[in-house]
Amino acid sequence: MSRRNPKGRDINGIILLDKDTGLSSNAVLQKVKRLFFAKKAGHTGALDPLASGILPICLGQATKVAGFLLDDNKRYFVKGKLGETTDTLDCEGEITSTKAFELSEAQVKEVAFSFQGDIEQIPPMYSALKKEGQPLYELARQGIEIERPARPVTIFNIDFLGYESGILTLEVACSKGTYIRSLIADIGEKLGCGAHVIELRRMGFAHMDIKQAIKFSELENLVSDDYIKLDAKIFPSEDMLPNIHSVTIDEEQGIDIRYGRTVKVENQADNLVKIFDENAIFLGIGKIENNILQPKRLFV
């Protein structure tokens, strides 16, 4: 094997990982970082250990676009068990109540569909949201519960996939910030019997589909001394931001942008933009206001 930089490789881009259940997002991140021998890596849109599915892993400079990826919509497959509530709102927690029930599929479907649209949702205590710098899940593990204000989220669509033996199966398209565990718990509360998540899989992230994602075990099979097969699985950062308009600047403007200076652009609407130079090289993310382009996150 060739001698390697002990600090890792300078590689940039995004891996669409199909995360398995049982591991935290951070644990998976560290495994991917080691596998690619990357200097820097981060994930976006964390998944609970219970959950599987699309987890974008940002390598190198791509960590600068993580915040923009977080703003995108998502799609989930979920199974909820009616008649039981848990402290974590999923099957990894302790059962806090049980209730016998008799519900028809029509009743369950009607209540599930009632959550489509703009709704208010209270985040779960077992979440990474912070109170005075401390994650809520740490407080929850100490038996501390604090008041959480309801937040506006949007459920764009609910596909009702089935209801059998007290198990509700849905596919949910939703906005950023939506907690599927809270959605299932709220459906159970409205049905009068309670509910919690027993299976959760992220099927879509922005324009990305689970079919584009790759398992960690598949990545392991591509390991080689030259990294060629592994690196072929990296998506360019700019391809992961299809909803952000692109703008091309000339050579002189490119010099200014690389030094963090603003440049004047013509006939451009005020908006976030992906910046490309005259050679179609992606420079980063900027913002246009009154025909002035201000660099925000540069890759140079």
Give the number of residues written for the chain: 300
CB distance 37 to 226 below 8 Å: no
Cβ 37 vs Cβ 61: under 8 Å: no
| Marked catalytic residue, from 10, 20, 48, 118 | 48
Residue 176, token pair as written in the block: 């950023």
Give the whole-angstrom CA distance, residue 224 versus residue 34: 13
Report the greatest alpha carbon distance in the chain: 71
Question: Is the separation of the CB atoms in 220 and 63 below 8 Å?
Answer: no
Strands 130-131 and 13-19, sheet pairing: unpaired
The answer to whether 64 and 299 have CB atoms below 8 angstroms apart is yes
Token pair of 18 as six digits: 């199909």
Count Cα atoms within 13 angstroms, Cβ side, for 95: 10
Of the CA atoms within 13 Å of residue 103, those in its CB half-sphere come to: 28
d(Cα 213, Cα 203) in Å, to the nearest integer?
10
159 is annotated as an active-site residue? no
Which residues does the annotation mark as catalytic?
A: 48
